[in-house]
């Protein structure tokens, strides 16, 4: 088979294919011994591999078209970049101005997003397929006021398809990893917190849920006052219910990390404690999911216990088996900070156990069958 760029026309024809993004389809005759009939079969030719020079040319064309507000030309170039595909072409474009060009184009048309929604969706698709890009030159343009406003708009837009909303969540997660100033810029945008919670509530996809949880964690870590906003939006109930119904390890870990960050806010602890599922769920997650989940579960219990209603929490935790779980945790070993908190909880749970046994005449050994006697 003669490859398209080896045919008459040489280099000029090949460059034209690269810049236009065409994928040639050629007809070849199958040898008689390999076919049952004399029909012709259509076979897709291999994707054309970009050279650095080609990538620079494409990127410059897109930047120039965006600077002139040429929507149709920008859409055509972005679509052809999307169709190029392949890891080699992706790396070539990333290394030769593709990220700068796409981010600049997105920023340029973000201010009038309703009129250029299709172009913005295509750019998000390409950028999301190129992630991670937090260290790439030019990606910081996605953290501009216009770009962040547009990304938040996609999160909240009910008419936007699920894939685009997912891509918006991915890009937000990526851009706030570049610099903390983008975290503060994001939380200053009206509807940003609502959009992140809505992504989780609508169950757009597991990947977008994880991305949204990581964005929420970063925002709370930078400013714990934001936690109160998320609590008012029903985030605690939402992630608690999700952990009950979703057995996926990574989702559970991220949910516990977010909950742990929320509990750093004194005003939010009481709201967390009002959830009837929270204590049984935290005790259940100890030694059940992963080391990270165990650390977060113990940390949350310890923070809630330090609250004014600590005695009530201890009684509830004891009733759902926290005493035995913490004993086993200390025996199998854990991280030093977790060990200190588990030991402190255990001492107070032991006191609580003695009080309960005095009033209820409970046999102190009835729940300790699996604990090593050497402890």
Residue 113 belongs to domain spanning = 51-223
Q: What is the CATH number of the domain that holds 136?
A: 1.25.10.10
Q: Does residue 13 sit in the same domain as residue 55?
A: no
Task: Kindly state whether residue 363 falls inside one of the protein's structural domains.
Answer: no
Q: Does residue 24 sit in the same domain as residue 141?
A: no
Rounded to whole angstroms, the Cα distance separating 78 from 165 reads 19
The region of weakest confidence among 5-9, 125-129, 250-254, 311-315 is 5-9
Q: Check: CB of residue 297 under 8 Å from CB of residue 256.
A: yes
Rounded to whole angstroms, the Cα distance separating 212 from 86 reads 28
The whole-number pLDDT of residue 7 equals 45
Q: How far is CA 321 from CA 286, 317, 335, in A?
A: 11, 6, 21
Q: Does residue 1 sit in the same domain as residue 121?
A: no
Domain boundary among 201, 223, 245: 223
Q: Check: CB of residue 204 under 8 Å from CB of residue 162.
A: yes
Mean pLDDT of the chain: 83
Cβ atoms within 10 Å of 86's Cβ, excluding its own: 13
Q: Does residue 65 sit in the same domain as residue 181?
A: yes
Q: Does residue 118 sit in the same domain as residue 43?
A: no
Domains held by the chain: number: 2
Task: Kindly state whether residue 110 falls inside one of the protein's structural domains.
Answer: yes
Q: How far is CA 18 from CA 57, 91, 180, 193, in A?
A: 10, 15, 38, 42
Outline where 202-248 has alpha helix (H): 206-222, 226-232, 235-245
pLDDT reading at 365 higher than 80: no
pLDDT tens digits along 19-45: 554 444 344 444 555 454 445 455 555
The whole-number pLDDT of residue 25 equals 39
Task: Kindly state whether residue 240 falls inside one of the protein's structural domains.
Answer: no
What is the pTM assigned to this prediction? Answer: 0.81
* Paired tokens of 104: 């600049």
Q: Does residue 127 sit in the same domain as residue 197?
A: yes
Task: Kindly state whether residue 310 falls inside one of the protein's structural domains.
Answer: no
Task: Kindly state whether residue 300 falls inside one of the protein's structural domains.
Answer: no
């Amino acid at each position: 088979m003669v490859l398209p760029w080896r045919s008459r026309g040489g280099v000029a024809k090949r460059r034209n294919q690269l810049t236009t993004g065409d994928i040639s389809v050629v007809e070849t005759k199958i040898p008689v011994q390999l076919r049952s009939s004399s029909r012709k079969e259509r076979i897709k030719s291999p994707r054309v591999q970009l050279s650095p020079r080609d990538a620079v040319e494409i990127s410059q064309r897109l930047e120039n078209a965006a600077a002139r507000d040429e929507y149709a030309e920008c859409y055509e170039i972005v679509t052809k970049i999307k169709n190029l595909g392949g890891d080699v072409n992706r790396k070539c474009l990333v290394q030769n101005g593709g990220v700068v060009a796409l981010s600049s184009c997105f920023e340029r048309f973000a201010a009038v997003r309703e009129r250029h929604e299709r172009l913005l969706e295509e750019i998000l698709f390409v950028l999301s397929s190129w992630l991670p890009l937090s260290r790439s030159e030019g990606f910081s343009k996605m953290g501009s006021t216009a770009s962040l406003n547009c990304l938040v708009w996609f999160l909240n837009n009910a008419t936007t398809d699920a894939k685009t909303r997912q891509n918006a969540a991915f890009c937000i997660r990526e851009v706030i990893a570049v610099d903390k100033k983008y975290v503060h810029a994001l939380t200053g945008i009206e509807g940003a917190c609502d959009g992140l919670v809505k992504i989780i509530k609508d169950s757009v996809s597991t990947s977008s849920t994880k991305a949204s949880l990581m964005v929420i964690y970063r925002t709370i870590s930078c400013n714990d006052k934001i936690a109160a906003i998320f609590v008012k939006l029903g985030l605690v109930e939402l992630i608690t219910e999700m952990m009950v119904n979703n057995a996926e390890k990574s989702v559970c870990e991220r949910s516990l990390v977010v909950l742990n960050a929320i509990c750093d806010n004194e005003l939010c602890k009481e709201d967390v404690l009002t959830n009837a599922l929270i204590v049984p769920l935290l005790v259940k997650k100890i030694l059940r999911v992963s080391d990270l989940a165990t650390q977060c579960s113990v940390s949350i219990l310890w923070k809630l216990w330090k609250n004014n209603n600590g005695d009530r929490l201890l009684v509830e935790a004891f009733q759902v088996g926290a005493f035995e779980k913490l004993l086993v945790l200390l025996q199998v070993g854990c991280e030093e900070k977790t060990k200190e908190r588990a030991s402190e909880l255990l001492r107070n749970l032991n006191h609580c156990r003695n009080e309960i046994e005095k009033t209820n005449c409970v046999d102190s050994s009835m729940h300790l069958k699996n604990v090593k006697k050497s402890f």
